[in-house]
Amino acid sequence: MRAFRLQDWLTDPVLTEVATPDPGPGEVLVRIGGAGVCHSDLHVIREFEPGQLPWRLPFTLGHENAGWVASVGPGVRGLEPGLPVAVYGPWGCGACDRCLQGVETYCERPDQAPVVQGGAGLGLDGGMADYLLVPSARHVVPLPDGLDPVTAAPLTDAGLTPYHAVRRSWAKLTPSATAVVIGIGGLGHLAVQIVKATTAARVVAVDTRPEALELARRSGADVAVAAGDDVAAVVRDETAGQGADVVLDCVGSDATLSLAVSIGRVLGDLTIVGLGGGRVPMSFFSVPFELSVQTTYWGSRPELVEVLRLAARGLLHTEVHRFSLDDVTDAYRALEEGTLTGRAVVTP
């Protein structure tokens, strides 16, 4: 089968031929229908030197995956060949407190997991291939009626990650609240929809690109403002001077975090969504009182089920740009150049 593999650190991945795996006990082989192209892959490809990550090379990229059950190993029940499924990407030990809660992103026994702090496409073979071998049936989630694998694939990360961030702030997203989403890309355009679908809060969207701001409006944003304008003034006007109850920074840079702090409300939430960086200047007066600042990583398996059901009901729509597996390098190039709006999905 074909697979898009990272062969060595700080080198471009290559499309190559590898053997199609056979599922062993408890394993599931998924025929890939869609694999999302995520910006975090570029961090893995471009930034990490040998020894920085506890992963072995080579491995196939692709951590946003959906398709159809191809075959199952001994002991697997309830997953028949041909069943459309999504794959929960983070793979923990399955036995610690966090894994038992379905939050395998925060596995507390990573030495017992298939790969330390990773999963499909992150240290182990992912879905940028014709087939994906999933090491446990618990990571395979049947798709609700009306949802196809191409649509579902990006929801496993680009949908799940902002959903987890929004969900943890639900108590602050009241009908009188305002949420600000900074960066309307693959995660951001879904973050806007998630806030609108699950709360009654108003949404202000911020981006540098006119096409991204238009996508934000189509996604339900009440206000879309260019980052070059006085965003803080706009937010003050929209909130009667109080600031945003929840800020979701889907970029993660010094500039966006500085903006986020300047528009946050006392007792509000500021969450960095995705694999971003940046610094928050901390002092007694530099941050609104009791503004909680946190990072999140992906989401839980039960939350993935909720995201898929929202999409099946038509409440979430991913702006998808399809690429064949032969054109996967073009997809990553477009992502790196910033010419994509929405999410690129590779469809073997």
Residue 219, CA distances (Å) to 196, 234, 280 in order:
9, 20, 29
Q: Quick one: which of 298, 347, 346, 344 has its CA closest to 139?
A: 298
Q: Quick one: which of 23, 16, 115, 39 has its CA closest to 71?
A: 23
Helix ranges (H only) for 79-139 are 97-100
Determine the Cα–Cα distance for residues 125 and 271; give it in Å rounded to an integer.
30
Residue 129, CA distances (Å) to 30, 42, 97, 99, 208 in order:
10, 18, 32, 27, 34
Q: Quick one: which of 316, 177, 191 has its CA closest to 249?
A: 191
Q: Is 230 helix (H, G, I), strand (E, B) or coil?
A: coil
Q: Quick one: which of 194, 197, 156 has its CA closest to 38?
A: 156
Spell out the domains of the chain, with CATH numbers in brackets.
2-157+299-346 (3.90.180.10), 162-296 (3.40.50.720)
Angle between helices 301-312 and 188-198 (to 10 degrees): 80
pLDDT confidence of residue 46: 92
Neighbours of 181 (CB within 10 A): 32
N residues, the chain: 348
Q: At 134, which helix (H) or strand (E)?
A: strand 131-134
Determine the Cα–Cα distance for residues 315 and 196; give it in Å rounded to an integer.
9
Confidence of residue 110 (pLDDT cuts 50, 70, 90): confident
Q: What percent of the chain has pLDDT over 90?
A: 88
The two three-digit tokens of residue 168, written as one number: 């943890």
Query: Strand pairing of 64-72 and 178-182?
Result: unpaired
Q: Looking at the DSSP assignment, which residues form a beta bridge with residue 305?
A: none
In this predicted structure, the answer to whether residue 115 has a pLDDT above a threshold of 90 is: no
Mean pLDDT of 306-311: 98
Determine the Cα–Cα distance for residues 46 and 127; give it in Å rounded to an integer.
20
Mean residue pLDDT of the chain comes to 95
What is the tens place of the pLDDT at every residue in 217-269? 999 999 999 998 799 999 999 999 999 999 999 999 999 999 999 999 999 99
Using only the alpha carbons of the chain, give its radius of gyration.
20
What is the tens place of the pLDDT at every residue in 269-291? 999 998 888 888 888 888 999 99
Q: Quick one: which of 145, 163, 146 has its CA closest to 154?
A: 163
Under 8 Å between Cβ of 122 and 19: no
